Amino acid sequence: MPGRVPHALCTAALAAVVAVSPAAPTAVAEPSGPGPAPAAGKAPQSVAGLLTQLQTLYRKAEEAGELYNGTEEELRKRAAEARKLRAELERARAVLDSGRRDAGRLARDQYQGRTDFSVYVQLLLAQDPARALEQSHVIERAQAGRTAAVDRLTDAEKHAEALAAKARAAQERQRVLAAQRKKQRDSVRSQLRGIEAMLASLSAEQLAAISALEEKNIGAAQDALTASGAFSTARPPSEEGGEAVRYAVEQIGKPYVWGAEGPESYDCSGLTSRAWSAAGRDIPRTSQEQWRRLPKVPVGSLRPGDLVVYFPKATHVALYIGDGLVVQAPRPGATVKVSLLASNPLLGAVRPDPGSASLPAYTLPELPEEATSGADTGYDAPDA
């Protein structure tokens, strides 16, 4: 694997020291759109410039990846909707066929002189009018039955036509989403090729310098969080939150693969959504939707199981496990690991189970020996 970043490049390569308070998370400038990857070209000479360029490449790749995840989720929902519509349409067509058979019988009865009208005439011409009046209700019921058969046929035709139109629309939507997904997949691949080119252009000395600067930035950001009192109170998780933490810890060491949601590999939101699913609660698939739809909590009120969301566009997410630590699937080429909460520029936090009571006590699960080690950045080509 060319251009592998060493261990100390823990996460997305901070552009600057991030000082965060519970009331007002600090925002950092973010690249616009997933667009084409920046050309590798001549690398900036300053360490800070190299760090910023590398961060930009990773940010664009992850943003493109989360767009892909969102489209993949939408396509999955549309496919389920299309299957449901096809089943409904099949049932509607069966009802329509039955109605057409009833209509055919009505047409044959009338052609063969067995209509209600001919029976009515026969009764009127009967020699016993009283008997005709007694049997009039028989005529009315027969006529009502035939009218109902015609009405059912008409309704069945309308229902089948409406379902067929919906099924066609769903199929077209699937086609559009599939094309969009392919475009986004290609965009991710383009971003990752840019990362590979960038890393391959750096010397060992440059990589070491970037690593040292990043460690300094992350440490300063974590110190700022500690000074703010964010970790001054230990809060136990809910029972579900504890289950989510245990699941996430069990995934440590598994590889990051964009678009993956387990059980053998993960991307950032694939890990957090699967951890909470394992705890019995379904949450949105992507980091943006997790940030948008889940209740927000102050950083100073974090409890294990909460999700920590990073970058102004909410394009990265990790799961808080307590003591100022998170479990995350950091970047391509890395593995699921434990990192400092401030390992990326913090946007805020959300809680998947706001109404659940906290456990009486909580002990951080035993972490694997290498839980905090290993490269957090690098390059792996996505699966076809």
Using a cut of 0.75, tell me whether the model's pTM lies above it. Answer: no
Query: Are β-strands 316-322 and 307-310 bridged in parallel, bridged antiparallel, or unpaired?
Result: antiparallel
Report helix angle 268-278 to 47-111, nearest 10.
60
Q: Say what the pLDDT of residue 371 is.
A: 93
Residues of the chain with CATH 1.10.287: 44-202
DSSP for residue 301: G
- The residue with greater pLDDT, 74 or 144, is 74
For 101-110, 120-129, 362-371, which range has the lowest pLDDT when averaged over its residues? 120-129
Could you tell me the pLDDT band of residue 72, with boundaries at 50, 70 and 90? confident
Question: Using one digit for the tens of pLDDT, what is the confidence trace for 256-268?
Answer: 988 899 999 999 9
Residues of the chain with CATH 3.90.1720.10: 233-379
pLDDT for residue 154 is more than 90: no
CA distances from 143 to 109, 121, 259, 380 (A): 12, 14, 62, 74
Q: Which fold has domain 233-379?
A: endopeptidase fold (from Nostoc punctiforme) (3.90.1720)
In sequence order, what DSSP letters do the residues of 80-137 get, joined into one string?
HHHHHHHHHHHHHHHHHHHHHHHHHHHHHHHHTT-SHHHHHHHHHTSS-HHHHHHTHH
Question: Using one digit for the tens of pLDDT, what is the confidence trace for 336-350?
Answer: 999 999 988 899 999
pLDDT for residue 117 is more than 60: no
pLDDT for residue 64 is more than 50: yes
Q: Which fold has domain 44-202?
A: Helix Hairpins (1.10.287)
And the tokens for 371? 């839980």
For 71-80, 130-139, 252-261, 331-340, which range has the lowest pLDDT when averaged over its residues? 130-139
Could you tell me the pLDDT band of residue 361, with boundaries at 50, 70 and 90? very high
Q: Say what the pLDDT of residue 383 is.
A: 38
